[in-house]
Amino acid sequence: MSLDALIPSAVDGLMLGFVYGLAALGLTLIFGVMRVINLSHGPVIALGMFVVYVLFTNFGINPYLGIVASLLFGLVFGVVEYFLAVDRVIDAPELTTLLATFSVNLMIVGIATSVFTTTPRAVDVTLGSIGAGNVTILGTHAVSVLVAIVVAAGLYGFLFRTRIGKSIRAVANNRSAAELMGIDSRRMLALSFGIGTALAMVSGGLLSTLFSFSPLSGGTYEVKSFVIVVLGGLGNPTGALLGGVVLGLLEGVSTVFIPVSWVPVLEYAIFILILLVRPAGLLGSRA
């Protein structure tokens, strides 16, 4: 394999890694706050794609405005999903919440495939490109990185600088103590679920501007999100973002040395290795 492909592959992988990281951020936030492994994460990512797609193709709304809409829709959708599927079983063993969100997964996929079918769709957006040597950076990819960084920074600002954000962290740290301090933990859990869902939808919206998709596309990114959160540490938002970047970089660089079809094998080998050697992830678990 030619090393001439190394730099462009690394750049492409790195850029995609930020979007992966954003998707994983939603998954890890929900787990960090309420110890729920959200198996509806993948279909929610796909829903984000279709929010942008529908607004773009049916109403002519700019895809990047559509991503803002997907964030708001995701917030509301997540809160509703929390109260319908998670709230009643929040204190049950983790398997119960796992199954509850899995059933939401199946319902979303079933409805979405009925409405949109499995025919691949695409949001036709072009923002040009810049290039130097073998490296060509597409505008859509660059904007996706920018949006992912802004959203992640916004989340950190919210969690660490606002009263509500601090309340969420307090609930994540010790729900009983937070309630004794007068925090409505149920409301904070619902909000956290909404924010996690919104992050997944935004990442889906960004991915819709990069690649074609169908209602089943979320599955791929859900699995990647799990690899990332294990890599970065389940429940650790910083770790999720870092894990996303590492996974993206790994995907990019590894294609220079091994056939592309072997990349998932490498990813899952690392997934298992991390679970065996450092189960708390690279940065450990911290809400």
Partner 1 sequence: MRPIRAIVTLATTVGLLAAACGGTTATPSATPSSAAATSAPAVTKTLNIGFTNSQTGAQQVASTKQTEGIKLWVDQVTKAGGIKLKDGTVLMPKITFYDDQSTTDRVQSLYTKLINDDKVDFLLSPYSSGLVKAAAVVSEQNGKVMVTAGGADDATMEQGFQNIYQVYTPASKYLTGAIDLMLKLDPTIKKVAIVNEKDSFSTSVVLAAKPYAETKGLTVVVNQGYDTGTTDFNPFINQIVAAAPDAIIGGGHLVDGTTFAKQLYEKKVSARFIALLVAPPEPTFADIGDAAQFIVGPSQWETQTKYTEASAKTMNLPFYGIANDAFTTAYRALFNAPPSYHSAGGYAAGLVLQKALEDAGSTDAAKVRAALDKLDLITFFGHIKFSTDAKTHGKQTAHDMVYVQWLKGSDGKLATQIVWPAEAKSADAVLRK
CA distance 85 to 170: 23
Residue 143 neighbours by CB under 8 Å, 6+ apart: 64, 127, 209
Q: Name the residue among 35, 40, 48, 17 with its Cα closest to residue 243.
A: 17
Q: Which is nearer to partner 1, 114 or 176 (CB)?
A: 114
CA distance 43 to 142: 25
Q: Which is nearer to partner 1, 104 or 152 (CB)?
A: 104
Report which secondary-structure segment, H or E, holds 196: helix 185-208
Q: Least distance from C-beta 287 to partner 1, angstroms?
A: 26
Q: Least distance from C-beta 107 to partner 1, angstroms?
A: 7
Q: Which is nearer to partner 1, 260 or 277 (CB)?
A: 260
Q: Least distance from C-beta 181 to partner 1, angstroms?
A: 27
**Angle in degrees, 0-180, between the axes of helices 185-208 and 163-173, rounded to the nearest 10:** 110
Q: Least distance from C-beta 161 to partner 1, angstroms?
A: 35
Q: Which is nearer to partner 1, 174 or 212 (CB)?
A: 212
* Side chain identity, residue 154: G
Collapse the DSSP code of 132 into the 3-class scheme (helix H, G, I; strand E, B; otherwise coil) and give the result: strand
Q: Least distance from C-beta 271 to partner 1, angstroms?
A: 19
Residue 74 neighbours by CB under 8 Å, 6+ apart: 44, 47, 48, 194, 197, 198, 199, 200, 201, 202
Q: Which is nearer to partner 1, 6 or 68 (CB)?
A: 6
* Side chain identity, residue 118: T
Q: Which is nearer to partner 1, 19 or 170 (CB)?
A: 19
Phi-psi region of 119 (alpha: psi -120 to 50; beta: other; left: phi over 0): beta
Binding site for partner 1 (CB under 8 A): 1-5, 8-9, 12, 16, 84-85, 88-89, 99-100, 102-107, 109-110, 113-114, 117-120, 122, 124, 126, 129, 131, 134, 136, 138, 210-213, 216-217, 219, 251-252, 255-256, 259-261, 263
Q: What are phi and psi of 118, to 5 degrees?
A: -95, 10
Q: Least distance from C-beta 112 to partner 1, angstroms?
A: 8
